Chain A
Amino acid sequence: MAAWHNVVIVGGGGAGLRAAIAVAEANPKLTVAIVSKVYPMRSHTVSAEGGAAAVAGDDDTMDEHAYDTVSGSDWLCDQDAVEAFVVEARKELLRLEHWGCPWSREPDGRIAVRAFGGMKKRRTWFAADKTGFHLLHTLFQTALSYTDIVRYDEWFVTKLLVHDGRVRGVVAVELATGRVETIVADAVIVCTGGCGRVFPFTTNANIKTGDGMALAYQAGAPLKDMEFVQYHPTGLPFTGILITEAARAEGGRLLNKDGYRYLQDYDLGTPTDEPVLRSMELGPRDRLSQAFVHEMEKGRTVETEAGHVVHLDLRHLGEKLVDERLPFVRELCASYQNIDPVHELVPVRPVVHYMMGGIHTDIHGATPLTGLYAAGEVACVSINGANRLGSNSLPELLVFGARAGQAVAEFVATVPGAATAPVLAQGRDEERRLVRELSGRQHSDGERIADIRTEMQETMEAGAGIYRDEASLTKALDKLAELKTRFARASMDDASRTFNTELVAMLELSGMLDVATCIVASGLRRKESRGAHQRTDFPDRDDETYLAHSVISRKPDGDWRVEYLPVTITRWPPGERVYGR
């Protein structure tokens, strides 16, 4: 069987929904399908808490937002992309307001903004501390009004179909039935989010397995800046559940085991009672997570069953402010940590949160592979460079989701029709492969999928964590190669076609092993320290050699190749990152 749509969007989170609406608006004659392994409102956009950045007040300018983003990225972002981003971010957030997003308000009815890490002005729009939830549901519900957008809910995409150097569709499994279908398309937009689940301790949901990165990589599209993995400084121990940066923006303080605001020892400014922008607790995430590691090495963190922690102190904020501005933080602390942040210290530790790298795209979301586009966390445009600023990811998925949608609508209108027979033949090959995978793993002597996944995650934390070096990365790379071999022989308990979640886990792991390899291989090649990529054997930034994007692509023999592309600099030449001074 085969279906056909002008545009297929893989992933139904914030970027995917925004792209779908953009296609529908740009050209209502086009048919658009969203293919997602979960119902759209389950997508991980839902978990974003703190807010979305865009210039709001009269005291702020687009240039200042751009400069904060550029310096936050350690100058690895493309400044033309950032300049477009800051202008469109505001338009997109207002658009979302017009669609009904319940942004928190000032008493006079205007949209309220809060401070955020690495931002010199208050420009983070928020919906209490459930910004991602409201953003996703607003987009999803708005998308329902576009009846031309077709959804394939709970369909897992296993392959991008490429013919004559052009992406022509996808193969997907309907989870409920196990039916494999080839979905032919003139263009595909990948919006599947990040890959936090290649690490053991992450804020990311179970679904964040880097599927889209793996699909693109396997189809021949390169991945960019994959060595840059963001650790968020404040996750709950044991679960890794995110405690939003907004907690610090509202005045929360980070304390070591002596109750000392240790960030002052790491060139992040001096402690004050009121939060100061771009200072102390409002420094960038990479620097705060790195400071934690140094505190731990000095023996000044608190040791718990779930590892070392420091404390986030919200007690002085008072119940009223916490309930009004941080209700979800209070709810999460109560449910998962059995504490009340109004009266008690919150134990926190750095946790893998976001992937700066991703599928290499241009400023319109186009990848080097004709017909393939990407937007959101899965893509690397790049506006985030070596370190993303908090509250830039939600506007990013809106801005570049919309851009990709518009670009695809134009592309599809100009592209000539092409033969579908070879594409369908590829689809049938893929279906046969999937049937073999399902029936060929029912032996009892193989390893469990979950065990290999766990080993991969531990390998990544040990080898490519907050600090890495040549030895740790090399060891991780060897281990990943070994895991790939073992994975080929791993077994599954479940041979059913009906909602086989073990099959999904197996397909996800297959992709994650590729994505993990790209992270480590790119990290090994970058012999400098920049933003979130900290090499203890090369502690300094090296603009001479590495003010460049790493681009990793798959060679036909299954091996990989890392190359470098220049960074676009428009108005802000590389300089020192200054916080708190």
Chain B
Amino acid sequence: MSQVRLYRPPVSLTWWLRKPSYLVFMLRELSSVFIAWFVAYLLMLVYAVGSGPGAYRDFLDLSANPALVVLNVIALAFVLLHTVTWFGLAPKAMVIRLGALRVPPNVILAAHYGAWLVVSAVVAWVVLR
């Protein structure tokens, strides 16, 4: 179509502020940075535990630093956002049939949250016993 001068509307820099769903989409993309941070943080913890009581104490002192606490609170919020939206799409991705009946989406969703609770409880039991 060489003879047509097509108009290509520019994508504005703030397009993601136009709709709540677009904003959530951007925040969710951003959440990957914080998840990466949590992974790094967890590896630091494992390394510290493995390096003996002194290193572990240093790690705890570092974690008590207010800046790090603030960072971790923000990271937790993003990880929760990621988890909740991830669970939200689970019923879309999983179509489970029992005979002719399709398992309703909210049952699948509830099962995910249930599983989350159980895993959390097991972790808590291992840590706190």
Determine whether A420 belongs to the interface, using a CB cutoff of 8 Å to chain B. no
Residue of A nearest to B3 (CB): A177
The 0/1 profile, CB within 8 Å of B marked 1, for residues 176-208 of chain A is: 111100000000000000000000000000000
Contacts of A177 in B (CB 8 A): 1, 3-4
Contacts of B3 in A (CB 8 A): 177-179
Minimum CB–CB distance for B103 against chain A, Å: 21
**Alpha-carbon distance A121/B35, docked complex (angstroms):** 65
Minimum CB–CB distance for B35 against chain A, Å: 40
Residue of B nearest to A497 (CB): B3
* Interfacial residues of chain B within 74-124, with CB under 8 A of chain A in the complex: none
**Alpha-carbon distance A206/B1, docked complex (angstroms):** 26
Determine whether A239 belongs to the interface, using a CB cutoff of 8 Å to chain B. no
Determine whether A570 belongs to the interface, using a CB cutoff of 8 Å to chain B. no
Minimum CB–CB distance for A181 against chain B, Å: 12
Residue of A nearest to B6 (CB): A176
Minimum CB–CB distance for B84 against chain A, Å: 33
Minimum CB–CB distance for A496 against chain B, Å: 11
Residue of A nearest to B100 (CB): A107
**Alpha-carbon distance A178/B3, docked complex (angstroms):** 9
**Alpha-carbon distance A177/B3, docked complex (angstroms):** 6
Contacts of B4 in A (CB 8 A): 176-177, 498
Minimum CB–CB distance for B6 against chain A, Å: 9
Residue of A nearest to B1 (CB): A176
Minimum CB–CB distance for B111 against chain A, Å: 28
**Alpha-carbon distance A179/B2, docked complex (angstroms):** 11
**Alpha-carbon distance A81/B1, docked complex (angstroms):** 44
Minimum CB–CB distance for A331 against chain B, Å: 22
Residue of A nearest to B5 (CB): A498
Residue of B nearest to A179 (CB): B3
Contacts of A498 in B (CB 8 A): 4
Contacts of A179 in B (CB 8 A): 3
**Alpha-carbon distance A498/B3, docked complex (angstroms):** 9
* Interfacial residues of chain B within 1-25, with CB under 8 A of chain A in the complex: 1, 3-4
The 0/1 profile, CB within 8 Å of B marked 1, for residues 299-329 of chain A is: 0000000000000000000000000000000
Contacts of A176 in B (CB 8 A): 1, 4
Minimum CB–CB distance for B82 against chain A, Å: 37
Minimum CB–CB distance for B79 against chain A, Å: 42
**Alpha-carbon distance A202/B3, docked complex (angstroms):** 37
Q: Which 8 A-B pairs give the minimum distances between C-beta atoms? A: A177-B3, A177-B4, A176-B4, A176-B1, A498-B4, A177-B1, A179-B3, A178-B3
Q: List 8 A-B contacts (CB under 8 A).
A: A176-B1, A176-B4, A177-B1, A177-B3, A177-B4, A178-B3, A179-B3, A498-B4
